[in-house]
Amino acid sequence: MPADTVSVIRPRTYEEAAVAVRACGARGAVARGGPGRAHGDAARNAGGAVLDMTGLDRVHVVDAAEGIVLCDAGVPLLRLAEVLLPLGWSVPLLPAARHVTVGGAIGADLHGAEHRAVGSFGRQVLALELLTADGEVLAVTPGTELFEATAGGLGLTGVILTATVRLLPVETAYLTVGTERAGSLDEVLARLTATAGHDDRRYAAARIDLTARGAATGRGILTRARHTPPGALRATGTRAWRGPLFPRPRRLPPLGSLLPSLLPSGIHYRAAPRARTRELRPSAAYLTPQDVFPYGRGGRVRYQFAVGHGQEEALHRIVRRLAGRRLPSCHAVLHPLGEAGPGWLSLTAPGWSLSLDLPLALPGLPGFLDGLDEEVAAAGGRVGLARDARLRPDLLTAMYPRAADFRALRARLDPRGVFASDLARRLAL
């Protein structure tokens, strides 16, 4: 197969997945969860095969007494939430993109605005079934090397077929959301820190204005949310209380409601209310509209990194460098992070995560991002691999000390290099 083409295979049974893995050529195969919309190259495999796992999308068992679900890896998290809500349960993490699947969430060790409350997605997985390079299906559980390599391992240890996931109990399908402005990065960090330990502020994030300078550098819009209890839902006076676990059918929001989130960050900051409390939203509507609209001409680069507590000055320096370029980013979101992810290549550890997108045509962008990588590495931080397509391999070990262990396990488990991707070749994983 030419090196610039790829064979996309959509298995509908576990046996078909095994056949596809055994039949892949010299360039190997990698699984992907969604419809090819990932920002990085972890699910790309030029010259080889890509397994589109969305054909394996069955929910097998829901234990409504214990709050556990067994499902295929190709089930989208939002569809799983729709199945679970009438039973009083939800998925423990809500993705910012609509097409993230269970397998993709494990492979990326997904985190979100609720990370400080529950940790990453890998922390919610009780067991998984993994199709290995020799066609064997292994039962994998937390605490084992194979689990720690697979959670956040970007599909390079095998194909996740099923997962058993711990669920979140909910009384309604709604969130009560509060929004407020913070005038500087120090103020943003202080207010996000103050939410720690508050059960009524399970979800917390801030959208940073990357155009502000001086004392206002890093100013942002804080959003904090909690699950709405039935009594509070009835007090809203809306019809929602009549079916608290049955929100209205999910549709794309009207363009007018999306425009503020799609505006450059400076305009969005000035347009935001100084403070707004007790806004009721269906839980799915709390998602950011990342994949509702295309990125436009020229495309964009998604850049995400994390630094630990005690490295706030490094975060300040990076935000100042970003602000100095007056970057026209519509997406610059800061999350507080809690418990470290279980995977050797997981992004998260106690501290802060900043995710942003930048125009691909921005002058000098490659060198600028290389400089940010070095700043992150010097602070003991990490660039998120699930969204990366350009990190230099010499920085990988500095950011991920268990990368050598990951390579060694891969060599033992898959000596022929059956599982491969553009990211694996670029970073020598």
The yes-or-no verdict on residue 379 having pLDDT over 90 is yes
Reduced to 3 states, what is the DSSP secondary structure of residue 221? strand
Between residues 131 and 255, the one the model is more confident about: 131
- Specify the pLDDT at position 233: 79
DSSP lists the bridge partners of residue 336 as 352
Rg value, the chain, Cα: 21
Give the pLDDT confidence of 340-369 residue by residue, as tens digits: 999 999 999 999 999 988 888 888 999 999
Residue 244 gets the label, from left (phi > 0), alpha (psi -120 to 50) or beta, of: alpha
CA atoms within 13 A on the CB side of 100: 26
Q: How far apart are CA 55 and CA 429, in angstroms?
A: 28
- Give the mean pLDDT of the chain: 87
Range of weakest confidence among 7-11, 17-21, 97-101, 234-238? 234-238
Q: What pLDDT, on a 0 to 100 scale, did the predictor assign at position 360? A: 84
Residue 196: both structure tokens together: 């720690």
Which pLDDT does position 4 carry in this prediction? 58
Pair 222, 192: CB distance under 8 Å: yes
Please, are residues 219 and 212 in contact by the beta-carbon 8 Å criterion? yes
231-252 mean pLDDT = 65
Residue 5 is predicted with a pLDDT of: 67
Q: Read off the pLDDT of residues 115-162 as tens digits, 9 standing for 90 and up.
A: 998 999 999 999 999 999 999 999 999 999 999 999 999 999 999 999
Q: How far apart are CA 63 and CA 80, in angstroms?
A: 14
- Number of helical (H) and strand (E) elements in the chain, helices listed first: 14, 18
- How far from the centroid of its chain's Cα atoms is residue 409's Cα? 25
Q: Which residue has the higher pLDDT, 315 or 173?
A: 315
Length in residues, the chain: 429
Enumerate residues 6+ apart whose C-beta is below 8 A from 102.
33, 71, 72, 73, 74, 75, 77, 80, 160, 163, 165
Three-state secondary structure call for residue 247: coil
pLDDT in tens, 11-70: 999 999 999 999 999 999 999 987 766 778 999 999 999 999 999 999 999 999 999 999
**Which pLDDT belongs to residue 258?**
46
User: CA–CA separation, 192 vs 218, rounded Å?
Assistant: 13
Return the minimum-mean-pLDDT range out of 279-293, 300-314, 315-329: 279-293
Q: What is the DSSP string of 273-334?
A: -SEEEEEEEEGGGGS--TTTS---TT-EEEEEEEEETT-HHHHHHHHHHHHHTT---S-EEE
Q: Compute the Cα dihedral for 249, 251, 254, 258 and give only its sign.
A: positive
For tokens 């009083």, name the residue: 88
Q: How much is the average pLDDT of 238-263?
A: 55
pLDDT band at residue 292 using 50, 70 and 90 as cut-offs: very low
Beta bridge partners of 358: 301
Residue 96 has pLDDT above 80, yes or no: no
Q: Given a cut of 80, is residue 268 above it in pLDDT?
A: no
